[in-house]
Structures are given as C-alpha cells and as structure tokens.
Amino acid sequence: MTAPLIDPKTVAQHRRRAQDMAEPAMFLQEHAAAQISERLSEVNKSFTDAAIVTGFPSVWRDLLPGAHIVPPTEDLGLGPASFDLVVHALTLHNMNDPVGQMIQCRRALRPDGLFLAVLFGGRSLQELRTALAEAESRLLGGLSPRVTPMAELRDLGGLLQRAGFALPVADSDHLSITYADLPALMRDLRAMGEANPLTARRKGFTRRGLFDLAQRLYTENFAKDGRLTATAEMIYLTGWAPSENQQKPLRPGSAQARLADALGVAEHRTTDPALPIAKDRFPS
C-alpha cells in the first residue's frame, strides 16, 4: 500500500506548535479570512447554518459567529444536508485527498448551499523551492521532498466539478512577502504551522552547509533591496450544491449574438470554414 503524501499527525503537531508560540504568524490566515468575508458580503443570500473547517479556530471564529468549527481531519464528520454554508479555511493543501474533502463538504450542504475554500497554490514558496533544490543538487547530488506540492489554479475548477459542485469558480491572488534572511522565512513557516509535513521528508538533521548555500542562491536570484522575496499564492474556490432553481449554462449553439460583435473585432475565417477566428482591430 502506498504511503500517504502528507503525514496528518505531523500537520496537527505543527499547528499545535504554532498556536503555542508566543508570537504565531497568522497574517496569511487573517488575510484569507478577510478575503472570504468579502466574498460572502457579495453573495445575495443569508446563511443560517455554517461550518468552518480550520486548524486555527481563533482566527476564523469571528468570520461567522456561531458557526460549527470542524477540525481538518480526513473524515470531517459532517452530517448530510446539515449546512447552507461550508468554508474550508486554508487547510485543503495539507490534505491527502482534497477531492474527498470537497465531496464531504458538498454532501454536507443543502440544495443551493455554498462552498467556499481557500488554499495555497502551486506558486507559493517558488523561490524557496528553487533555492533548496539547487543547493541539494550541488551538495548531495539529488533532491529530497522539502516543500509540499500544491495544486495549480487551472486544475482546481475541474476538481470542484468532480466533487459535484455546480457553478464552480476558481481565482487567485499573489502576495509578496520579504524577509531579512532564510532563517527568518523558516521561522515564519513554523509559526504559521506550515513546516514540512511530507511523509517522505528527511527525518535527520540537515547539514548547515545546505542552508548556507540555499541562502546564497536565494539572495542571488530572488532578493530585492537586500531582502529575500517569498511568494504566497492564495487560491479561492466557490461552488454551489446543485439545486433545481439555480442558473443553468446555455446549450452549446444557442447564443443569439456573435462574439466578434461583443468584442468589437472583425471576424475572419481560416482555410477551414468551420473555424472562424476574430482578428483584433486594436492597435498593438
């Protein structure tokens, strides 16, 4: 049997350690909560029974006072059709079965219930991945898993559909955070509860020279004004539990207007008359 990619016990341990720190780094959790709150304010619907899946209840509890707080375990234990809103709060990237998580949330929703999720995307920590990979390749002649692989935006809309959600939407924003050096970044990751949780991670101590070289490579390639730049890609997912009264996509070929007219461009045809294309009339 194949070992799971992520060790759930290690994830839980990292979160407990972060919460016990004198100065936990919750600014990305707070940013995500603010973004989810903004999205909810734009939905023309009132929610009375909400659940929030989170490893940091202290950050998310104020988002929806009275919401059911759910620990982020593989089995969420949500009753069927129990909620009209489920928020998966910055934990989906640390789950071995993200589609299974979405399916559980969809089943927990009543018809026309809303699912909102936020997770770290594939561009997160791209600078750190590059620096560590190059340093390990030079010193050790190979790579070890040090940063959790994360999903790409283009794939997540399809995962929402696989989970059975209607009207799926995936969008993202990118934050650029700067640090004085590599140890400061690593300290912040621990204080976020986002240290390496991979099952195949190296369990022993890492030689100091590896991080010294990674620091040099990071500085050479990703420093700005003397500080290291770290990217955090935040991906937001929206989906609705299917309902008879929801909007439905139009049948292919049923449009009453030409796309070229809407875009204000001239329409030309290729050598294949079945493939019309629009040629941009705007100046380059």
* Band of pLDDT at residue 197, cut at 50, 70 and 90: confident
- Does residue 221 lie in a domain region? no
Are 174 and 262 in the same domain? no
> What distances in angstroms separate CA 193 from CA 19, 27, 188, 197, one per listed residue?
8, 12, 9, 10
Mean pLDDT within 83-87:
98
Q: What is the pLDDT of residue 68?
A: 97
Q: Which pLDDT score is estimated for 259?
A: 62
pTM for the structure as a whole: 0.83
Query: Is 260's pLDDT higher than 80?
Result: no
pLDDT, tens only, 210-225: 889 999 999 999 999 9
69 vs 267 pLDDT, higher one:
69
pLDDT in tens, 224-254: 999 999 999 999 999 999 988 766 655 656 5
**CA distances to 258, 269, 280 from 283, in Å:** 22, 21, 8
pLDDT of residue 146: 67
pLDDT given at position 254? 59
Whether 59 and 162 map to the same domain: the answer is yes
Residue 165 has pLDDT above 70, yes or no: yes
Task: Say if 69 falls within a structural domain.
Answer: yes
Q: Is residue 84 part of a domain?
A: yes
* Average pLDDT score over residue span 119-139: 92
- Say how many domains are in the chain: 2
Same domain, 117 and 179: yes
- Is 175 among the domain residues? yes
40 & 153 share domain: yes
Please tell me which residue, 265 or 143, carries the higher pLDDT value: 265
Tell the residue number behind the tokens 């940091």, with chain if given. 56
pLDDT, residue 284, reads 35
- Judgement on whether residues 201 and 270 belong to the same structural domain of the protein: no
CATH number where 161 lies:
3.40.50.150
CA pair distance 128, 76, nearest whole angstrom = 32
Q: What is the pLDDT of residue 180?
A: 97
197 and 82 together in one domain: yes
Residues 56 and 161 in one domain: yes
Buried b / exposed e over 20-48, threshold 16 CB at 10 Å, is eeeebbbebbebbbeebeebbeeeeeebe
Residue 213: inside a domain: no
Same domain? 235 vs 282: no
The predicted model gives 71-93 an average pLDDT of 97
In a domain, 15, yes or no: yes
**Domain co-membership, 264 together with 200:** no
Residue 200's pLDDT band (cuts 50, 70, 90): confident
* 18 and 113, same domain (yes or no): yes
- Tell me which residue range forms the domain holding 234: 8-129+149-207+229-240
Residues 46, 165, single domain; the answer is yes
Per the domain annotation, does 62 fall within a domain? yes
Residues 185, 190: Cα–Cα separation, whole Å: 9
Same domain flag for 236 and 269? no
The verdict on residue 247 lying in a domain is no
